[in-house]
Structure 1
């Protein structure tokens, strides 16, 4: 019986999540012109279950901006009527979430095993971390930097030609569980590193002179949950006394203006900052690793989606970093590199003004630890698919992002401190 259950579990784990819960759900983009519009959106949010996609909470919406949010099928008539009645302009980005969710897997055949151009479930990624290290012993090593709330290992890959005390760049993916294109990029980065080392002069130099620490999935429990229970889950899966609501937003859980702005103290909110900074095992493990390697880590890159932006500190306040001019010109150049391949348009700038104020983020925290080059990538797209970017866009997204990341890495190598 146990063997049978184990086999069933494995079969379930490897199948893409069903979208049936999301039948008829819509994603709307609403133009918010003024305070009256804002009040209306707040009213909608308090009377209906609304899943904010961008920005990720009602508190972060500002006048003269747009807001993307998902509404349940049963609420759509009410919500759209109210918007029409108050003459708020809106467009339907996604008319049936289930269809887009299922269409993510453009290729209906789920190839057995790992693929760089498909979304891989956690079991497949976990096996891949071992395999890529085994196959490339001169370039890749794997370690475990901690365990998640539910007891899963957090694997870190160190990529680079072995040499003691090399300067390093830390890259993490998969903070928010539903942003699947993010872990896909971390896997792609490792693949390109081992594939082009010794063939392509640029990558060879980077791997000879730098180490790259790659954390393919930060929020493993949340990622597993998006594959098995709820594709749109964002947070960790931690529980705590006094509430039945589950999870903390790991990217609001760092000691960088913790919970001051753009984060919620409500355990039920998607942007819940947690009971204390680093309350989450996942954020604690990441922070501990970086703290213990501060002498060598010279850049920190965290990969999110969506909105096509390259952000740098600060997000927890409107103050600018000491090397703002340098970060701005580096972001500009990296975005130009990215754009050169497929013409994808990115915006760039400090987090608070470029996207929205949000406290407790890992990039601000890393910068405040003394890591001069700290960036957040918000990958494709701009909302047509949002968190449900089709697999057919993985390759192009990763190719263009590689150009930006390599540009940043080369710059860091030339400006060591």
Structure 2
């Protein structure tokens, strides 16, 4: 407790992002980031959880008179994956630390707004901090359906993407219970409504999980016949960027290829509504510590994942904001746009 309290008071110190923070501490951190970065960071409450807690995104970007493009990132959709919120905090810290001196990041913030939700499943995350018996809680905390005594739904099985078809359970006591209906959960519904409202501006959808060291691309449903090769290539570049930091291998592929089939994920939903790029990061490790990743691995995990995310962000930015006068860049952007559209429209559901 003393260590965590000390870190709350000294967040400006680089090492303070190398510990895990409770829900209340993350909320306090978000308030601090907004207060200390006026004109660059703001907080937007875009929904309420089942237990009536705020679902809040940090909006990061430089002021503009025109409508800007958007990059989305959410962390903590599964309560027990504590390294994910820690990464969202690290990601925010790195953007704010570098944008004034790094011309590249300054340019990106001129053109793009980041919407970052550090803890999407705040009810479940808070419950996982309650005691050791709740530490591995995964789901939301919504009330069970009639005839069942188990709370919660797997939020990443509740989105409108082949909902309830594969890789789910209809048993409400299961960790992969998909809910009584699509978007039965207020958290999934909030993301859907908010992202849908600006989908024409969203360039990339990043959702951060653990563990397994994977970068997952659409789709989780195996009977979609086409793998979107641009997504695979961009993800592979991100994997290479990750490896360059600490030598860690992140496997790239669709869930049926490298993990297991699933339906109802936010990643697949984002791609299906037309967002050009959509990825799931599964952070460290490969099972030695699992969801209880030691604090001494927070910094290296975040450092490598940041480089992976930055690789994707640089690509999607440059595709949409080519160098002025660069006909080759413009032609390349047009090519990728056409190819991505074909990946979406030619996906066949059997």
Q: Normalising by structure 1, what TM-score?
A: 0.72
- 1: CA distance between counterparts of 2:45 and 2:226? 32
Cα distance between partner residues in 2 of 1:140 and 1:320: 41
Provide, for residues 178-216 of structure 1, a one-character-per-residue CA deviation record: whole Å limited to 9, x for no partner: 000000011111111111111123322221221111011
Task: Specify the alignment match of 1:43 in structure 2.
Answer: none
Give the 3-state SS of the residue equivalent to 1:228 in structure 2.
coil
2:176 counterpart of 1:271: yes
- Tell me, what secondary structure is at the counterpart of 1:125? helix
| Corresponding residue number in structure 1 for 2:276 | 372
Report the Cα offset of residue 321 of structure 1: 4.8
Secondary structure, in 3 states, of the residue corresponding to 1:376? strand
Aligned to 1:314: 219
Question: Stretches of 4+ moved more than 6 A in 1?
Answer: none
Structure 2: unaligned runs, 5 residues or longer: 321-336, 338-350
Q: How far apart, CA to CA, are the structure 1 residues paired with 2:256 and 2:62?
A: 37
> Contact between 2:4 and 2:21, CA under 8 Å: does it hold in 1?
no
How far 1:134 sits from its partner (Å)? Answer: 1.1
- How far, CA to CA, are the matches of 2:277 and 2:225 in structure 1? 13
Say whether residues 1:109 and 2:11 are aligned partners: no
Provide Cα deviations, 1:150-180, integer angstroms capped at 9, x if missing partner: 1111111111112231111100000100000
CA distance in 1, matches of 2:181, 2:51: 19
Q: Distance in 1 between matches of 2:160 and 2:226?
A: 17
Number of the residue aligned with 2:63: 162
Q: CA deviation at 1:347?
A: 0.6
- The alignment's C-alpha RMSD in Å is 1.4
- Alpha-carbon contact 1:320-1:350 (below 8 Å) kept: no
**Could you list the runs of 5+ residues in structure 1 that have no partner in the other structure?**
1-14, 16-107
For 1:249, the equivalent position in structure 2 comes to 154
**1:196 corresponding residue in structure 2:** 98
Q: 2:53 matched to which residue of 1?
A: 152
> 1 CA distance for matches of 2:100 and 2:225?
40
**Matching of residues 291-370 of structure 1 within 5 Å:** 291-321=196-226, 324-370=228-274
Partner secondary structure for residue 235 of structure 1: coil
Give the superposition deviation at 1:307: 0.5
Provide Cα deviations, 1:340-359, integer angstroms capped at 9, x if missing partner.
01001111011221211011
Q: Is the 8 A contact 2:23 2:125 kept in 1?
A: yes
The answer as to 2:40 corresponding to 1:139 is yes
Indicate the residue corresponding to 1:57 in structure 2: none
Task: Work out the CA distance in 2 between the residues paired with 1:178 and 1:357.
Answer: 21
Do the aligned partners of 2:84 and 2:208 also contact (CA within 8 Å) in 1?
yes
Q: Are 2:150 and 2:173, in contact at CA under 8 Å, matched by a contact in 1?
A: yes
Higher mean alpha-carbon deviation, 351-360 vs 178-187, is at 351-360
| Paired position in structure 1 for 2:24 | 123
Checking the alignment, whether the CA contact within 8 Å between 1:313 and 1:350 is kept in structure 2 is: yes
| Structure 1 equivalent of residue 325 of structure 2 | none
The count of aligned residue pairs is 310
Asked if structure 2 preserves the Cα contact closer than 8 Å seen for 1:314 and 1:320, the reply is no
Q: When the two structures are superposed, what TM-score results if normalisation uses the length of structure 2?
A: 0.86
Kindly tell me: are residues 396 and 320 of structure 1, through their superposed partners in 2, closer, same or farther at Cα, counting changes over 3 Å?
A: farther
1:222 to 2:124 alignment: yes
Is 1:395 the counterpart of 2:299 in the alignment?
Answer: yes
SS at structure 2 position matched to 1:156? strand
* 1:313-341 CA-partner distances (Å, limit 9, x unpaired): 0002342556x121111111110011101
Tell me the distance in 1 between the aligned counterparts of 2:114 and 2:223: 30
Larger Rg: 1
CA deviation map 1:250-302 (0-9, x unaligned): 00000101010000001000000000111001110011100101111111000
SS in 1 for 2:291: helix
